[in-house]
Structure 1
Amino acid sequence: MNERLVVKSFGPIRSIDINFRKVNLFIGDQGTGKSCIVKLYSTFRWLEKTLLTETYSLDYFTKFVDARFKKQLCGYHRIDDFFRNDTYILYESALYKFVYAGNAFNIEKKNGTITGLPKIMYVPAERIILSSAEKKLKTFDGLPASNLTFNQTFWESKERFKDGYSFPFGNLNYKYDSLNDISWIEGCDYRVRLINASSGIQSALPVCIVSDYLGNIVASGKERPMSVEELQKLQKETSKIMENENLSDSVKNAMLKHLSSRSRYNCFVNIVEEPELSLFPESQNSMIRLLCKVNNGTTDNMLLLTSHSPYTLAILNNLVLAYKAYEKGDDNIKRKVAEIVPPEYHIDPESLTAFSLTEAEMENYQSVLSESSGIISKNDLDSVSELIMREFNILYRIYGKTIK
């Protein structure tokens, strides 16, 4: 993971400098910039992908910055109004360096090696609309365009799991009647239409089946769907290489391998807003474990989470501790750990980053990971409920005086 994002004076973000890892958590109060960060990251990963496939030329977005970079690209996630006169944004990976400053947008191509393309999915908090509407929505008036993209993938996922999908919690199953266009949720002794199910189920289903669906596509290594234009361009470039007599066989093979990488997904970048939405803590645990399991499907997969829930911190901590104990333990310890948290859910502490965002006047973010242990420190876990407990203790002392 070589991605770095620097943002200054953009929407609610005052100043951040983040290096992304395999698992990335952004937690904090409303309006502190959590979604802003992941939306910018999603935007630049998508832009990088389109440049690799040569869908757009390198200078397409550097010209007419207001119309193309701001309105077209950033407008996709509805963050085009967040720019200020002193906004500065830098995104850098092994392949490209993007810099926005002074209302100018510059792109620098680097010499990194392409191993494949990312499958990027942004899972919005508004996803419950898809379940409560049930019928396929054709317009999303008032919502970001990213919702339409997710809607399309949600319906592809429903077709993929129409014969049944087991929820990660509650002993529930999902079935899709494609003939009558009805989604069903089945329990042990009942069945209810998805539109009549609880808000937690309506929120969780799209996350679960889309994550599983796309994770399986990437892990299978199959060629990605390509447009007619992309195929024609790929065939033309392949012929050009093969017919060039000035190239050695080894150079030709290297160039063909480079072209081939554009026809496959090498990773799934799963960006999920509020995975805990409308879920009981026990169900939150199962949801995040599922997302981490999918993320562990391939080496280069990435998971980005925004959250308001303190339970998210504790859940990730357990997955890190399980990894540490499993890696260092003997066979007996490995068995005990696996009984509690199977290895497919584990998180290597070296692959985790977690930030708390606040409304501070200067830098409004801080890492909540301990540098020595790689896990979320006890103070950060406790501080989430500190205010509530302080009020409880004060009120309890006052109450005690009333009964003496």
Structure 2
Amino acid sequence: MKKKLIIDNIGPIDHVELDLKRVNVIIGPQSAGKSCILKIACFCAWAEKRIQLEQDDNSFKDSAFIKSNLINFHKLGGFFVTGNGAKFRYETNHLWIQYEFDKDEAAFSWDWVDSSRWNYKRTRISYIPAERNVIAAIPNWLEVSMKYNYIRNFISDWMLTRTFYTNQNKLDVLGLGVQYYFDKQTGQDYIELENGKVLQFTNGSSGIQSSIPMLVYLGYLFEYQYKPGQYGKIAVDAENEVILDHIYKKKRYNYGLKPYKETNSSYIGKIGMGVRAFKSEEEYKECKELFKAYTKTCSSDIYLEEPEQNLFPKTQVRLIYELLKNSKKHEDSIFIATHSPYILYALNNAMLAYYVKDTVIDEMKDEISCLKYGYNPEKVSVWQIDEGRLVGMSDKNFTIQDSKHLIRKNFFDSIMGDVMNDFNNMLNFYE
């Protein structure tokens, strides 16, 4: 899986180059550009999906379309300044796209990577914002007029995803002795405490209010979206037929087909809602596999802001371990922006557990809680950003990982070192 993102002169970012892997984490001070990177990465993944499913650039060459779906949708107004050279480039195994703000109408360009263009598999693109607790903070959010952006989109997704958790199928909230469920009769969200007491979700603690929308959505992405009957069948079938038309024509299955039809040697096969003609059974099988890859979600690309919000450190650690475990089910990709050292330390433990899981002596296995959450370090990238650029281990390694991909020197370690140095220096004068 190849994914490379290059961003220049957008908002607080001067220049960054990121080789995206299965799990990606970026740390840095406030307003350093972490969320900006996540939003652009999310837009690029969405643009790739649109181009793949439609086999064309659709409306991307229209500057107004980019403004609506990137700058307005992701609330990046003021980040793109004329004359500053704002641009980004995104490369995958299937295609590359580039956006150069100063070029206006010719700003968006792209092309296929011919050797693997048709190896695409459909993913769900999901952005979980830091503002997710608005769902609990505003009890009447359904009545609030909001512009359509990534926050409003998350609220729309919440309306669907919460319905999977009922009084008979409650969500356990990170082992905190709290369960969440949605009551379809009243249209209300509830939390049930360990002692059986039931509260309205809006009356929960700040940690509960920020974590439940995230956990409910993640539960949908990891499990419930793969269950049958999630959408109206007629609407899905109609959309899939359009995708099939694009595949059929762009793969040129219909090209030169006339002689085969005239001699009755063409192959007729059912795909989707109807039957189509092919020059051979092999072409039919190929098209059928492509149709499946392009219409059936195989995994999710998850962009997650500040998962640690209002959570105690021990709970943050459990959250990361659960994220890593659940993301393996369908090989989901996760991109996290965080201020928390505990997120980093938990991830590092999971990577080290991958290396030592088979060598730890039996007497110690029960003492190391993260062993069962081992995650392949080669599938992880961790960066820190400061003053518009990535601060890595070396000029050739923009991550803060060593040759074994374990996390090394970072902001959190140096800040903790400064705090402890001050404490130790003061101890000399304490009586």
Question: Same-fold call, TM > 0.5?
Answer: yes
* In 2: Cα distance, 1:338 partner to 1:140 partner: 52
The answer as to 2:403 corresponding to 1:372 is yes
The answer as to 2:223 corresponding to 1:213 is no
Q: Which residue of 2 aligns with 1:150?
A: 154
Cα distance, 1:141 vs structure 2: 3.1
Aligned mate of 1:121, from 107, 118, 126: 126
Specify whether residues 368 and 257 from structure 1 end up closer, same or farther in structure 2 by C-alpha distance, changes over 3 A only: closer
Mapping of residues 46-125 of structure 1, within 5 Å = 46-54=46-54, 57-58=56-57, 60-62=59-61, 64-65=62-63, 67-84=64-81, 85=83, 86-101=85-100, 102-103=102-103, 104-111=107-114, 112=116, 113-125=118-130
Q: Is the 8 A contact 1:42 1:120 kept in 2?
A: yes
The answer as to 2:43 corresponding to 1:11 is no
Residue 179 of structure 1: SS of its match in structure 2? coil
* In 1: Cα distance, 2:205 partner to 2:37 partner: 30
Q: Which residue of 2 aligns with 1:201?
A: 208
Q: Which residue of 2 aligns with 1:230?
A: 239
* In 1: Cα distance, 2:185 partner to 2:276 partner: 53
Aligned mate of 1:287, from 301, 316, 319: 319
Q: Which residue of 2 aligns with 1:160?
A: 164
Q: Which residue of 2 aligns with 1:341?
A: 370
For 1:257, the aligned partner's letter is E
Specify whether residues 237 and 33 from structure 1 end up closer, same or farther in structure 2 by C-alpha distance, changes over 3 A only: closer
* In 2: Cα distance, 1:296 partner to 1:209 partner: 18
Mapping of residues 271-286 of structure 1, within 5 Å = 271-286=303-318
1:125-172 Cα offsets, whole Å, 9 max, x none, are 110111233455254537x61112211221222110113111113121
Specify whether residues 136 and 228 from structure 1 end up closer, same or farther in structure 2 by C-alpha distance, changes over 3 A only: farther
* In 2: Cα distance, 1:30 partner to 1:330 partner: 39
Cα distance, 1:291 vs structure 2: 1.7
Residue 25 of structure 2: SS of its match in structure 1? strand
Aligned mate of 1:305, from 320, 336, 355: 336
Residue 385 of structure 1: SS of its match in structure 2? helix
* In 2: Cα distance, 1:238 partner to 1:303 partner: 29
Q: Is the 8 A contact 1:176 1:184 kept in 2?
A: yes
1:182-210 Cα offsets, whole Å, 9 max, x none, are 22222221332211111001000011111
Structure number with larger C-alpha Rg? 2
For 1:83, the aligned partner's letter is F
Specify whether residues 222 and 390 from structure 1 end up closer, same or farther in structure 2 by C-alpha distance, changes over 3 A only: farther
Mapping of residues 18-57 of structure 1, within 5 Å = 18-54=18-54, 57=56
Cα distance, 1:341 vs structure 2: 2.4
Residue 39 of structure 2: SS of its match in structure 1? helix
Aligned mate of 1:260, from 276, 292, 297: 292
* In 2: Cα distance, 1:396 partner to 1:255 partner: 73
Deviates more, 1:234-243 or 1:350-359: 234-243
1:66-104 Cα offsets, whole Å, 9 max, x none, are x12233333210124311321121011112211123422
Residue 130 of structure 1: SS of its match in structure 2? helix
Q: Is the 8 A contact 2:70 2:76 kept in 1?
A: no
Specify whether residues 218 and 330 from structure 1 end up closer, same or farther in structure 2 by C-alpha distance, changes over 3 A only: farther
Identity among equivalent pairs (%): 24
Aligned length: 390
* In 1: Cα distance, 2:126 partner to 2:152 partner: 12
Specify whether residues 236 and 117 from structure 1 end up closer, same or farther in structure 2 by C-alpha distance, changes over 3 A only: closer
Gaps in structure 1 of 5+ consecutive residues: none
* In 2: Cα distance, 1:18 partner to 1:348 partner: 19
Considering only aligned residues, what root-mean-square deviation do their CA atoms show, in Å?
Answer: 2.8
Specify whether residues 237 and 12 from structure 1 end up closer, same or farther in structure 2 by C-alpha distance, changes over 3 A only: closer
Deviates more, 1:180-189 or 1:191-200: 180-189
Residue 137 of structure 1: SS of its match in structure 2? helix
Q: Which residue of 2 aligns with 1:350?
A: 378
Gaps in structure 2 of 5+ consecutive residues: 254-267, 269-274, 393-397
* In 1: Cα distance, 2:280 partner to 2:229 partner: 29
Aligned mate of 1:332, from 362, 385, 390: 362
Q: TM-score, normalised by structure 2?
A: 0.82
Specify whether residues 80 and 106 from structure 1 end up closer, same or farther in structure 2 by C-alpha distance, changes over 3 A only: farther
Specify whether residues 239 and 33 from structure 1 end up closer, same or farther in structure 2 by C-alpha distance, changes over 3 A only: closer
Cα distance, 1:13 vs structure 2: 0.7
Q: TM-score, normalised by structure 1?
A: 0.87
